[in-house]
Amino acid sequence: MMDVAARAGVSQATVSLVLNGSPGAKLSDATRRRVRDAADTLGYRLPRRASRPAPANQSVIGVIVDELASDPWMAIAFGGAREKALEYGMNIYLAVSNGDPANEAAIIENLENQPLVGIIYGTILTRQVHLPPSISRKRAVLLNCYDAERRLNSVVPGDRLGGRIATQRLIDAGRKRIGFINGQQGVDASRDRLKGYRQALASNEISFDLKLVKSGNWEPSSGYTMTKELLALDSPPDAIFCANDLMALGCLDALHEAGICIPKDISVIGFDDRDVALHTHPPLTTLLLPHHEMGAIAAETLIEMAGTLNTTPVQIKVECPLIERASV
């Protein structure tokens, strides 16, 4: 999939959305054609028939997500789960609950008469969830979330390692004074990416300076405002790690406005690998949120659970790959 994305000049997220025919994906016809042409040229195909046997009398996976339209992550994760289900000759259904327990109970009721393998329960934000009995009584895997008691298998992104990789990439580029524009406080991704940032600094014997850490809100406007604050310091940064690509957009705008050359004067790295990261000036070095892989892992974990004895639940943290472009 990475090769198709590179050839088409889009993100892996877009490749997943196009090839899976995801509903509601706001993509131009030209973009869809580029992705399909690249896939045809490289001979890349999604699985369309069973290549592995499905568990006896169990052929349906239910996927319940709290949101689908506000961000692409759950649609991308569903694409990964769908591919894995197809390998086993299974059907997979997607339902959006809007986080309403009554909706979730109704969805489960509608699935009762199906030969159900189990439920994948996903959330748009990485967070702790409190599952209603209608779901917790079923065989289930949590996607991008986890339960407080860790009674269920879960698949989440490796945000702490990702924060460390991003910061280390800036250090490897010779940067010593690295600013960090974080997301909203109290969010798992913000907490873990900050931990990774601090770990990378400590591993390289670089002192942590609280003045270099700013709290944004995931939106471009906060990236812009926080970058202005960093530039106003008596000793401004020589690199900025933005905890998502949208804030990196605002960061780049503020740096351009100040006449700063990127990456010669200040390096910038983001997190997410949204489509827009390809089209910034310069193109944004970032980390990929691996939701497609997470969806596939969640589906395979659920299928394996159906065919084995009960095992101790585990949390699988999926690495966020570094996507090298030109901003570092």
Helix H or strand E segment including 156: strand 153-157
Phi/psi of residue 35, nearest 5 degrees = -65, -45
Is the per-residue pLDDT at 90 higher than 80?
A: yes
Q: Is 324 within a domain?
A: no
Phi/psi of residue 167, nearest 5 degrees = -65, -40
Q: Is 149 within a domain?
A: yes
DSSP secondary structure string for all residues of 159-222: HHHHHHHHHHHHHHTT--SEEEEE--TT-HHHHHHHHHHHHHHHHTT----GGGEEE--SSHHH
What's this model's pTM, rounded to 2 decimal places? Answer: 0.85
Same domain, 147 and 164: no
Q: Is 327 within a domain?
A: no
What's the CATH number where 271 sits? 3.40.50.2300
Same domain, 118 and 149: yes
Same domain, 143 and 203: no
What's the CATH number where 2 sits? 1.10.260.40
Peptide bond into 220 cis (omega under 30): no
Q: Is 219 within a domain?
A: yes
Q: Is 64 within a domain?
A: yes
Is the per-residue pLDDT at 49 higher than 50?
A: no
Q: Is 184 within a domain?
A: yes
Same domain, 205 and 247: yes
Same domain, 99 and 189: no
- The residue range of the domain holding 99 is 52-157+292-319
Same domain, 59 and 138: yes
Number of domains in the chain: 3
Q: Is 198 within a domain?
A: yes
CB 55 within 8 A of CB 39: no
pLDDT band at 50 (very low <50, low <70, confident <90, very high): very low
Is the per-residue pLDDT at 14 higher than 90?
A: no
Look at residue 43 in the predicted model and tell me its pLDDT: 79
pLDDT tens per residue, range 197-212: 999 999 999 999 999 9
Same domain, 115 and 148: yes
pLDDT tens per residue, range 130-149: 998 888 889 999 999 999 99
Query: In which residue are the tokens 């913000």 written?
Result: 190
Same domain, 137 and 238: no
pLDDT tens per residue, range 270-287: 999 999 999 999 999 999
Q: Is 326 within a domain?
A: no
pLDDT tens per residue, range 234-277: 999 999 999 999 999 999 999 999 999 999 999 999 999 999 99
Same domain, 253 and 201: yes
